[in-house]
Amino acid sequence: MLFYDLKEKWRLLMTKPIDITDKSFDQDVKASSQPVLVDFWADWCMPCKMIAPIVEELADEYEGRINFGKMDIDNNPQIPAEFGIRSIPTLLIFKDGIAVDQIVGAVPKGTLQKRLNAVLES
């Protein structure tokens, strides 16, 4: 029981991706002084659920260097349409408000780390 309590407390302390909406996109992504990874997802999408814990881990690991957000495409159709999101999960990485990389599908954590590091080094 003690282990579970400690594990739950640690989970609550971890940095989590913020919820981004059509209305908050400009402020949360375009105006960000740091790169931003946006996870376009939907509740019914199994691959989205597979990659979600990885995105949360990366949000914690890259805290202070890259911001992380999630956008539910069912509740926010405008921005996904603007970026031509046709498959989910799709992860877009923005730098200086511009999409600089796109990852489609549930990929391994190492793949995402390589792509994030490339954005940080550019």
Q: C-alpha angle 60/114/68, rounded to 5°?
A: 35
Q: Which of 37, 38, 45, 58 is catalytic?
A: 45
Q: Which of 38, 48, 59, 79 is catalytic?
A: 48
Closest CA to 51 of 110, 119, 122, 120: 110
Cβ–Cβ under 8 Å, residues 92 and 119: no
Predicted confidence (pLDDT) per residue in 25-39, tens digit: 999 999 999 999 999
90 is catalytic: no
What pTM value is reported for the model? 0.86
> Which domains, from first to last, does the chain contain?
16-121 (3.40.30.10)
Mean pLDDT over residues 44-63, rounded?
95
Strands (E), the chain: 18-19, 36-41, 67-72, 90-95, 98-104
Asked if the model's pLDDT at residue 72 lies above 70, the reply is: yes
Mean pLDDT over residues 11-35, rounded?
87
45 is catalytic: yes
